[in-house]
Structure 1
């Protein structure tokens, strides 16, 4: 398993699609996931530690997990098939299918680590050779030149 961190969340200039950039915690590989606007907002709120007036869906689920689960949950990005990303929320011996964008929003609220399989980072990872700030700039340039169509079926709700 590969530990991931949220590197950046932004809007791709050509299509206006939201892009979540995750980076390998101990390396230079990154994952770029096109995500829907509600998940972008949920992730941004968690990063900024914004407290909603009333709990939103990810807040509610995080509270339920915190109260009911004795073991620390795991948020794992498990595969990419035909441009669609898959993940699992692991609660003890239960594995629940989940979109990676929802897993990230949930992991940031619990807080728990975000993981992916070695296969995911090996096949879908983008290698950025520069330091953190240069890497982000290099990735921004990459986003300026790329379109979601380059990665298969649209940004819909797959991330």
Structure 2
């Protein structure tokens, strides 16, 4: 359904064409939850165990500290500063 000159115009189209027009027009695309659930395609292959992923992330958070990130940044800054000093000395 489009709004044209203040009135709604309903257009019949294939889904792919409607999506292409909406993307070009930067228009939002709405779909009912039931439609999405009915049309969803289940992928075969590795099943994702969400609980295990969450547990792994929690363990990571328990072990990581702010210093882990700061040290990496500082080491890079020190290396960059040393390289800049060498370049200046070579000039």
The TM-score bracket by the shorter chain reads 0.3 to 0.5
With a CA cutoff of 8 Å and minimum separation of 6, indicate the structure with the bigger relative contact order.
1
- Normalised to the residue count of structure 1, the TM-score between the two structures is 0.22
- Normalised to the residue count of structure 2, the TM-score between the two structures is 0.35
Greater strand content: 1
Mark the structure with the bigger radius of gyration: 2
